Each structure stands twice: as structure tokens, then as C-alpha cells.
Amino acid sequence: MTELFGIPLSALLSQLLLGLVNGSFYAMLSLGLAVIFGLLNVINFAHGALYMMGAIFAWMGLTYFGINYWAMLIIAPLLVGVFGMVLERLLLRHLYKLDHLYGLLLTFGLTLLIEGFFRSFYGVSGLPYQVPDALQGATNLGFMIMPNYRGWVVVASLAVCLATWYVIERTKLGALLRAGTENAKLTEAFGVNVPLMVTLTYGFGVALAAFAGVLAAPILQVQPLMGSNLIIVVFAVVVIGGMGSILGSILTGLGLGVIEGFTKVFYPEASATVVFLIMAIVLLIRPAGLFGKER
Amino acid sequence: MKLSREFIVYAALVVVVMLLPALDVYPVFVMKVLCYALFASAFNLLIGFTGLLSFGHAAFLGGAAYAAGHALKVWGVPTEAGLLIGLVAGALLGLVMGALAIRRSGIYFSMITLALAQMLFFVFLQANFTGGEDGLQSVPRGTLLGFINLEDDLTLYYVVLGIFVLSFLLIFRTVHSPFGQVLKAIRENEARATSLGYDTARFKLLAFVLSAALAGLAGATKTLVLGFATLTDAHWSTSGLVILMVLMGGMGTMLGPILGAFIVVALENKVGDIGMFLGKATGIAWFNGLGEAVTVVIGLIFVVCVMSFRRGIIGELDAWWSRRRAARSTAVARSAQASAE
């Protein structure tokens, strides 16, 4: 058996894969946060709660209505996206003129509300969700055994992230979005319906979170508090990467997931804290973040 | 003249709190409120008077609660030393966290404090001295200055009240000092404060450390009152709770955090009863479980406060009071003008 630093290579690679899985969740969530922050100047604390809603909707769809995983992968993000757009229209919209802190506080309150609501129905124990039939089992890649579902999560999230990058950086719609991020007033003066764009952007950002939630449902515990611990790590990821660049968010998310995975192998005690430690170091060396611009 | 009227209000409040045990109010409840009121007032020093939203203040409350609890229980230090250790622990944590967090401003500052506090939470979860998920149980209260026995609730009550009043006076003095004026200048316009020659980073750090130290004192006192320190103290939800206390009471007011702390602590204790009552009154069974879902109520209040009540209760009262005064003085001026003509 091949070994690296005294640890079997296959164990190392399976941790690498696990890290990539977590990293893809970080990437999708921090990407959504960055897109929302760019246009709305709101840090969406509720992102974790909406990710949880995606997972719980997947579970509810299967349990109550018999809707399978693949359908929920589309339906849950749509539902959560619509829910997000309603929140934006009813509540968030009224805070844009104020200090950015109020957006954070409002979404924090919404997080408590959403989590508490689901907790009053489902408690805090995990709800079981099966891996869909097509992705059960594992594939022997020769150098390691890869559980199919984990591979799928990484591929699907990467595809969604890159598609998002393509739309924002390479299409007309994305150009309008970038223009709105740069200067909302001027964009509006050119006849673009910026308020509508803001609503749709928020809806898209939270739909991304819900998509991550559905992906997570079969491998992580589906329970009302699953989002709140994740969102704090994602905040650290955002501080490390800076919110200036789409590809930067994706890379930082994946990279930190991998580092966390390796920490689990070499020094498990620090696996929960390593991302925060890296954040502290980045703040000392490059306060604006790896891909951020000093503002 | 205005200052003395303010002091009369404070003095009257202290007298009322002193008399509460005689009115059969449960002393431990009031002590808990006082601890959280101190915590919230310390937090208000940052958000209300410096304009910094820390999302990690639970780290100071929790860290100091553990430090004081460990010192009292394992090292067996005298009570006053335990409280001091809590205060110093809060200040040291504040120095490290503050030095990192003030490197970014605005929304990033909040995210960094939240992340660093979460890191400490995991450290407390894994460390040996905290007792993990069980927390630090049966911490002795000991004796103050070697002869005042604190095992008696009533004696401790007046000690806690004393700690609170002294800390409150310190905050009052800080806010009304030249240092406090600089903090307010930073809150209003940091760039201008810098251009006036103030090293704003140092002022912010100093305010952060002071706030953390007082939050630490609150945590240590809370350990003394309740006899235990648990992970809940260091959890991010506690950071959210203290924000709510200050937001609901009124940011940047002296009495707001105290009122907010009272309402939130009372709500946490009583929300189950209210839910039972609503369940009985409306026949909707869901209300019966409201006690389990305190977070829903807290979240709802949060949303209402942010959407339509941003000045908080005391802030709204202040605004109403000054509007009324303004209206009255214009009325007086107008009638004076009319009689002159």
C-alpha cells in the first residue's frame, strides 16, 4: 500500500474527497453571499437557514408527496427562491437606504424565525434521507474507492458554480448585473429595471443555497439547525476570499474544504477551528482577503 | 440641571431594585437580569457609542464565565479574585479578537467577530477545563473579602447590585468623557475623525477591550449567581441575544440595554406560560409548544425591531419627549409673540 506522511494514500484521498464535498457547499454558499452582497449590500445571514430549507423541502417532498430526489433538486430551489423574493420585496427592500448592519440584523432575526419554526415541528434530531438509487454504491477508481454520491455532489456543484460564473462574466444579463453592482443609479438611468434585478438576484442567490441543501440532504443530517453552524464557517470563507471575485469565491470555498479535510487526517482536534485560524492569519497578512479589493 | 435630573432617575431605580427582595421578587431572577443588563450595557458601549457591531460578544461572557468558574472551583481562589480573573480573561480575549477584527470595518467586522467567537466555542467544546457539553457545575460562591458569606442569596443580591452600579457608573463616565466623544466621532464619521488626527484604530481597540472586559465581569458574576458555566454562554445565539437586548431597549441610550435585558430574560422565562395561555385562549395546539420555540418569538421581535422600531423603546421615548418639548417651547414662543403684539 502506498503511503504519504505515514498515512495510507487511499485514506488520504477519501478525506480529500470529503473535503471537496464540504468545499463545494462552502463554494456554493459563499458564491450566493457574494452575488447578493454585490448588488444588495446585504450580508444574508439567512443563507444558512435557506440552505436548511432546501434540505428539509427535499425530505418533505419525498416523505409527504413521494416526489423523488431529482425532481426536488429543481423544485426545492425554486420554492426557496420564490420565498426569498417575497422576503426581499416585503422586508429587505426597506432597509437598503440604511446602514448595512440592519440587513445583517434582519436576516439574523429571519434565521431564528425560520429555524425555530421548523424546530417546533421536527425537533433537532436528524431526518433520514436515502441516497437516490442511481447514485448508490461506490466506484473503484483503481487508486481509491469513491462513493458515487460524493462524486456527484462535487461534479454537480462545480457545474452550477461554473455556470453561474459564465452567466455573470460572459453574458448580457451578467453584464447588466455587474453594471448594477458597480453603480445602481447609473444603470437605472440607462433604462434597466434595477429593483426587479435586485429581487431576482436575491432569489437566485438563495436558490443556490437551497440547491446546496438538497445536495447535502442524503449525506449530512437533515435537521433544522444544520444551516447555522455552516453559515458561520462560510462567513469566515468570505472574509478569507474577499467578495470581489466569483472565481475567487469558488476557489476559496473548495480550497478551504480540502484543507479542513486534511486537518481531519493529521490533527483531528483542530478540524473544527482550522478555517477560523486561517481567517485570522489572512487578516494579519492580507486584510482585504485573498481576492478582495481594499475598500 | 439636566444631569442632576438624570441622576435622580438612576438613583430612584437603584432604590427600587434594592427594595425588590422585600416585595417577594425572586432574587436570583433579578441577579440574572442585572448580569445580562451589565453584559448589554458593555455591548452598547460598542454598538451604541462607537458604531461597531460585534457579533461575538458571547465569547467574552462565556470565556470569563469559564475562567472565573475554574478559578473558584479548582484553584479555590477568593471570590473577588475569581471576579477579577473573569474580567481579565474578558479583556485579554477582547484584545486578541479586537486586534484582528478592527483590521476590517463595517459588515466584515461583524463577520470576523462572529467567526472568531465560533472558534472559541469549539475550543471550549473540546478543552478539558470546561467540562465539554456538561459545562462547569457547582461552582462555589465563597466569601467576599474573607468575611461576607455569599451563599446567602440576599447578601449576594446586594453584592451583584453593587458590581452593576459601579460598572454602570464607569460606562456612564466613559461615554461622557473626552474619550467617549472621540468614540462618538468615529461612529458618526470615521474618515473625518482620522483627518482630525485621531488614531481611530487605537480608540476602537480600546473601546473593544473595555467592552469585552465588562462583558467578562458580567460572565464571571453570572457564574457566581447561578453556580455553573455552560457552552450556551459562548454560543452565537447568546451574541444574538445581547444584540436584541440593546436593539430593543435602544442603542446609544444608557437605560435601553437594562430595559432590553429585563424584557429578554423575562421573556425567556415566561414565554412557555404565555404560549400555554394563548393555546388555551385560541384553541390552537401549536401555541402550547411555544416554550420550546422561544427562538421563533425572539426572531419575530428581532424582525419587528429592525423593520419599524430601530430607535428601541428608550430611544422612541426620548424622541417623543424631545418632540413634545419642542412643540411646547414653540407654543410658548408663539404666545409670547402674540402677547407682545
Question: A158-205: per-residue pLDDT in tens?
Answer: 999 999 999 988 988 888 888 888 888 888 888 888 889 889 999 999
- Could you tell me which residues are beta bridge partners of residue B149? B143
Question: Which of A91, A116, A235 lies at the smallest CB-CB distance from B299?
Answer: A116
The answer to whether B107 faces chain A, any CB pair under 8 Å, is: yes
Residue numbers in chain B where pLDDT is lower than 50: 1
| DSSP single-letter state for residue B291 | G
Cell of residue A281, nine digits: 492569519
Q: Which residue stretches of A41-141 are H helix? A: 47-65, 69-90, 100-122
Question: How confident is the model over A243-286, as pLDDT tens digits?
Answer: 778 888 899 999 999 999 888 888 888 888 888 888 888 888 88
CB-CB: which of A37, A91, A235 is closest to B114? A235
Classify residue B146 by burial, with Cβ atoms within 10 Å: 0-12, 13-18, 19+: exposed
User: Is the Cβ of B189 closer than 8 Å to some Cβ of chain A?
Assistant: no
pLDDT at A135: 82
Residues 136-165 of A with CB under 8 A from B: none
The per-residue pLDDT for range A20-42, each reduced to its tens digit, is: 999 999 999 999 998 888 888 88
Residues in B touching A36 (Cβ below 8 Å):
none
> B303 vs A101: CB contact, 8 Å cut-off?
no
DSSP A222: B
Query: Bridge partners of A138?
Result: A147
A114 near B CB under 8 A: yes
Give the distance from residue B190's alpha carbon to the nearest chain A alpha carbon, in angstroms: 14
- Provide the shortest C-alpha distance from residue B109 to chain A (in Å): 9
What rounded mean pLDDT belongs to chain A?
87
H-helix or E-strand spanning residue A16: helix A9-40
Query: Do the Cβ atoms of B160 and B166 come closer than 8 Å?
Result: no
Reported as a single tens digit per residue, the pLDDT across B150-188 is 778 888 899 999 999 999 999 999 999 999 999 999 999
Report CB contact under 8 Å: A98, B108: no
DSSP state of B148: E
Q: Where is A140: in which H helix or E strand?
A: strand A138-140
> Locate cell 470529503: which residue?
A18
Residue B134 contacts A, CB cutoff 8 Å: no
Q: What pTM was computed for the model?
A: 0.90
A interface mutation test: which of B108, B205, B242 has the most A CBs within 10 A?
Answer: B108
SS3 percent helix, strand, coil of chain B, rounded to 5, is: 80, 0, 20
Contacts of A104 in chain B (CB under 8 A): 53, 55, 107, 110
pLDDT value, residue B1: 44
Inter-chain touch A100–B107, beta carbons under 8 Å: yes
For Cα atoms A147, A150, A155, give the angle at the middle one, nearest 5 degrees: 125
Residues of B in contact with A286 (CB under 8 A): none
Interface test with B, best of A114, A118, A283 (most B CBs within 10 A): A283
User: Does the interface predicted TM-score (ipTM) exceed 0.90?
Assistant: no
Sign of CA dihedral B40, B45, B48, B53: negative
> Does residue A1 surpass a pLDDT of 70?
no
Of B187, B171, B211, B174, nearest in space to B50 by CA: B187
Strand locations in chain B (E): 143-144, 148-149
Q: Give A110's contacts in chain B (Cβ within 8 Å).
A: 299, 303
Q: What is the mean pLDDT of residues A108-124?
A: 88
The verdict on B111 touching A (C-beta cutoff 8 Å) is yes
**Is A239 part of the contact surface with chain B (CB cutoff 8 Å)?**
yes
Residue B314: enclosing H or E segment and its boundaries?
Answer: helix B312-340
**pLDDT exceeding 90 applies to what percent of chain A?**
38
Q: Which residue of B has its CA nearest to A282?
A: B100
